[in-house]
Structure 1
Amino acid sequence: MILVLMMTIMTLVITNLVMFINLMLYKKSLMDREKITPFECGFDPKSSPRMPFSLKFFLIAVIFLIFDIEIALLLPMMPTMISSNMMQWMTTIITFIIILIMGLYHEWNQGALNWV
């Protein structure tokens, strides 16, 4: 029991020591002006590094990821068709595809697919 208590105390001391050392080194690197400025081939930047980002790109990327993951979920269902009950398999696939089509219709209805 005492061994477990000593190991716990040593673990806490070591982790707190490492965190304290990290905090001290991090503060020193924040004070360096050259390290916090943006870098463009050795020259000072000509424009603001915080350029506005088009939300359309983000929405299209999210929609792509959602449908990509759903296709990745559909692919393993094909080999299971042979070993499962056909009625349950068809019900599952049709339900899944209907949910996909409803999501696509919702995105289309909300105007997320319009690029104007």
Structure 2
Amino acid sequence: MAGHESSYTPTNAFTKWLDSRLPIIRFAQDHAMGFPTPKNLNYWWVFGAVLAICLAIQIITGVILAMHYEASVDGAFASVERIMRDVPYGWLLRYIHANGASMFFLAVYI
């Protein structure tokens, strides 16, 4: 990238060889691991970010599932079956929503 010098230096022969052919470690170091972070960043911030991601996933998948769900005694099971079979990636949305609820509970509990 123009105007950006990397601070990564390979330490052994394999990483030098890999960096000369495919600089994936340099890319990860510069773009994912080399960011300055504040000193007061602690586990509370991390769990807050995890909870925010879980909440966003729950809201998005919940709204999509609610658009296809029929809330009646006669049609509830049929609508869930229709979500699982006929809605594109409906099975994935349903399982993401279920596992997201478990992950949200786990993150709150911890």
User: TM-score scaled to structure 1, two decimals?
Assistant: 0.36
User: TM-score scaled to structure 2, two decimals?
Assistant: 0.37
Q: Determine which structure has the larger helix proportion and give its number.
A: 1
- Pick the structure with greater CA Rg: 1
Higher relative contact order (CA 8 A, sep 6+): 2
